[in-house]
Amino acid sequence: MPLEIDATESFLRQQRFINDVSHELRTPLTIIRGYVDLLECYGTTDPELFKEAVSSIKNSAQNMQNLVESLLFLARADQGRQPLTKLPVDLDDLLKKFVENYHTPRLKVSKFPPCKVLADGEFLKKMFAAFLDNALRYSNGAVKIDMTTSGNVATVKFIDKGIGISKEDTEKIFDRFYRTDKARTKVNDKESSVGLGLSVAKWIADRHDIKISVKSKPGEGSTFTLTIPTI
């Protein structure tokens, strides 16, 4: 009997997964198809349309690529085939280099105190990117990254004053493909948002014994706090 329940559960999970992936692929594919049809008719005579079409097709292709990359990452993670190479890393240096890649005046950072962690640096950057991209995506104003150290932990906070998250949603945002209704309406087709960023971030955090806590209020903003063991 339990075997039967397992089989039904895994079938349902698989169905939901196929449904989610198909749904996420449909929007960029519809955009690409629409613009290709327009280009076929007017592409050689309307240079403005040509520019708009190329830019939208490029964004949609990028969104699909991000989706596929996140799916492959999670598939490898599920199968235990996602190798991590943990080495002593200067967290302050890593964070400094990480923020340098964001060329936006919206980003404000505190002074990062020196501290060492045992981690896979590339994975840490991937995890930080999930939190920072969300903070920038779901707010319009300044986003702050704050880092402090105390005892044998470092605390990194991503603080935004954006749309915020309700209490019920806060429990679900780390689930695969979960997006709040507010987020769906805020994000446009230029941005890649499929609801997998935090699932990937959570997997990386778990592999590094990093605790994640979320404080958020709809309309007021969100703070994601990472507590990272130091060495």
Binding of ligand ADP at residue 156 (CB under 6 A)? no
Q: Which of these segments, 8-16, 84-92, 100-108, 195-203, binds ligand ADP (CB under 6 A)?
A: 195-203
CB closest to ligand ADP, residue no? 197
* Smallest separation, CB 113 to ligand ADP (Å): 24
Of 94 and 165, the one with the shorter C-beta distance to ligand ADP is 165
Binding of ligand ADP at residue 132 (CB under 6 A)? no
- Return the closest-CA partner of residue 201 out of 226, 168, 183: 226
Binding of ligand ADP at residue 222 (CB under 6 A)? yes
Q: How many CB atoms lie within 10 A of CB 123?
A: 21
DSSP letters, 149-206, are EETTEEEEEEEE-SS---HHHHTTTTSTT---HHHHHH--TTS---S-HHHHHHHHHH
Spatial separation of the C-alpha atoms in residues 138 and 111, rounded to whole Å: 24
Phi, psi of 168 (to 5 degrees): -65, -40
Binding of ligand ADP at residue 143 (CB under 6 A)? no
Of 115 and 198, the one with the shorter C-beta distance to ligand ADP is 198
- Helix, strand, coil tally for the chain in percent (to 5): 50, 20, 30
* Smallest separation, CB 117 to ligand ADP (Å): 23
6-28 burial by CB neighbour count: b if 16+ within 10 A, else e?
eeeeeeeeeeeeeebeeebbeeb
* Smallest separation, CB 38 to ligand ADP (Å): 28
Of 121 and 195, the one with the shorter C-beta distance to ligand ADP is 195
Of 7 and 72, the one with the shorter C-beta distance to ligand ADP is 72
Q: Which residues within the stretch 112-131 sit at the binding site for ligand ADP (CB under 6 A)?
A: 130
Per CB under 6 A, residues contacting ligand ADP are: 130, 134-135, 138, 160, 162-165, 173, 178-180, 183, 193-199, 222
